Amino acid sequence: MNRLIERDELIIKWLYEAAEISKKSFKQMISIEEKTTRTDLVTNIDKKIEHFFIEKINTYFPGERVLGEESSKQPFTELKGIIWIIDPIDGTLNFVKQKSDFAIMIGVYENGIGHLGYIYDVMRDELYSATKNQGAYLNGKQLEPVDDISLREGLIAISHRLMTSEKNDNARKIGRASSGVRMIGSAGLETTRVATGKLVAYIGASLAPWDIAAGKVIAEELGLNYTQLNGEEIDMLSHNKTVVATPSAHKEIIKNFR
Amino acid sequence: MNRLIERDELIIKWLYEAAEISKKSFKQMISIEEKTTRTDLVTNIDKKIEHFFIEKINTYFPGERVLGEESSKQPFTELKGIIWIIDPIDGTLNFVKQKSDFAIMIGVYENGIGHLGYIYDVMRDELYSATKNQGAYLNGKQLEPVDDISLREGLIAISHRLMTSEKNDNARKIGRASSGVRMIGSAGLETTRVATGKLVAYIGASLAPWDIAAGKVIAEELGLNYTQLNGEEIDMLSHNKTVVATPSAHKEIIKNFR
């Protein structure tokens, strides 16, 4: 990917500016709309931050495509060239109801390959970033590769939809085999917990490319596996059942979902 | 209760000292033992902190009884007089595996009535405290009474044991009726989230007096209900299925467990 250092510096600057937009909004009225269901929300702040990024990208990198949670009405049908994949607020329910535990995320992909990934945990001021083949960082400090802890020895995050499913006990079976289930409600933050060894795995019920893009680059730089729940590669053109995990936990988990 | 202001000042001082013990331990080897099951852990640090509190209480308040998670081999059979109820580390699994999301908790009860409650979220440096009839505080700043949000409009924390139960879908039904389930893995921290309106309720599977004592004083000062899951009063002499919630959510939840 061209202009890699310039991209990295600009993205970090933009993320801090976007975080200010999100934090300022706590003093204002936030307008909230339901998207597909009553718990699938979008706010004017999601839209404002996405618009902010799109303007910056159009200015600094004209011609490059943007896939954003709030503005991309049509899903992409192919991944040619450079694509910016944006989640302006990951964990919108938490943003609205907790004013914490949400993230701003950016992934930059070229021909389907992730080159840059950023997850900014705004309220903890923790910026996780990675550049392909150059390691992953937390606030500029390089992260150690994650220990290959087994499912039994680790805590696991599992999405609300799978944990509360009325009929399907598959994910809960994995939960019972672990040391304990934790649920944050932000795919990005749950991925950062796996990236720092606090969780051994995170299972997502139906993640879109913008939920996955940044975390996948970060996770893979640390020796974690990030795939569909059946073990197949992530499809960056649609929604995926996902698992990001240590190699050992990953193996144990996908075995149950094949 | 006598010497109330003196107790409050001493307890806050001791909590900060105990927190230093917990944080220093991250640089040392922690020795871990399993208690009842492989996920019911105790470390040398739990024991060290509880011992620290017991020494202080014996020095400053000789003759008063202490009910501690790690040292009380025999459960109490009555609640006469002043009892200090101590959880040296609430969320020991998180303490061991995440080095965050644990709390140090103290409740001071007299003849079964809670007069003082403290939950110290060590890694966020957030000290929640309450004195009966005098309000609840976060780092010395008074907390507002919690808005009476309904279950449908709120996020809820539910314990691992109830969420992963193979056969019993009752708790998950509550989860599905809410806006979403979150799981932190520390009864104390989950209670602080309800106390600050970030969660609408927290359901515990089997909480001991030391899991409940501090949080109950804090919750009740903010207009929350803290009872057994069937709506009956907490029994401070045994383990309880519990719910702490806004009045509206509390009503909806206990209706399902009567």
Residue B164: closest C-alpha in chain A? A172
Residue A157: closest C-alpha in chain B? B183
Mutation choice for B interface testing from A40, A96, A159, A164 by most B CBs within 10 A: A164
CA dist., res. A16 & res. A26, Å (int): 16
- Report the candidate in A79, A84, A115 with the shortest Cα–Cα distance to residue A1: A115
Cβ separation B185–A180 shorter than 8 A: yes
Domains of chain A, residue spans: 4-142, 155-255
Q: Assign domain B155-255 one CATH number from 3.40.190.80, 3.40.50.300, 2.40.100.10, 3.40.50.970.
A: 3.40.190.80
- Report the candidate in A235, A155, A63, A177 with the shortest Cα–Cα distance to residue B92: A155
Model pLDDT, residue B73: 67
Cβ separation B164–A172 shorter than 8 A: yes
What tokens appear for B84 in the block? 């200090």
- Report the candidate in B189, B203, B47, B196 with the shortest Cα–Cα distance to residue B105: B189
CA dist., res. B2 & res. B24, Å (int): 34
How close is the nearest chain A Cα to the Cα of B204, in Å? 14
| Chain B residues 162-191 with CB within 8 Å of chain A | 163-164, 166, 169, 172, 175-176, 179-185
Nearest CB to B39; choose among A98, A172, A179: A179
**How does pLDDT run along chain B (258 residues), one tens digit per residue?**
999 999 999 999 999 999 999 999 998 888 999 988 888 888 999 999 999 999 999 999 999 999 998 877 667 899 999 999 999 999 999 999 999 999 999 999 999 999 999 999 999 999 999 999 999 999 999 999 999 999 999 999 999 999 999 989 999 999 999 999 999 999 999 999 999 999 999 999 999 999 999 999 999 999 999 999 999 999 999 999 999 999 999 999 999 988
Mutation choice for A interface testing from B35, B38, B97 by most A CBs within 10 A: B97
Q: Give the helix, strand, coil percentages of chain B, each rounded to 5.
A: 35, 30, 35
Residue A155: closest C-alpha in chain B? B97
Does the CB of B35 have a partner CB in chain A at under 8 Å?
A: no
Per-residue model confidence as pLDDT tens digits over A30-78: 899 998 888 888 899 999 999 999 999 999 999 999 999 887 766 789 9
pTM over 0.90: yes
Q: B-chain residues within 8 Å CB-CB of A123?
A: none
The fold of A4-142 is Fructose-1,6-Bisphosphatase; Chain A, domain 1 (3.30.540)
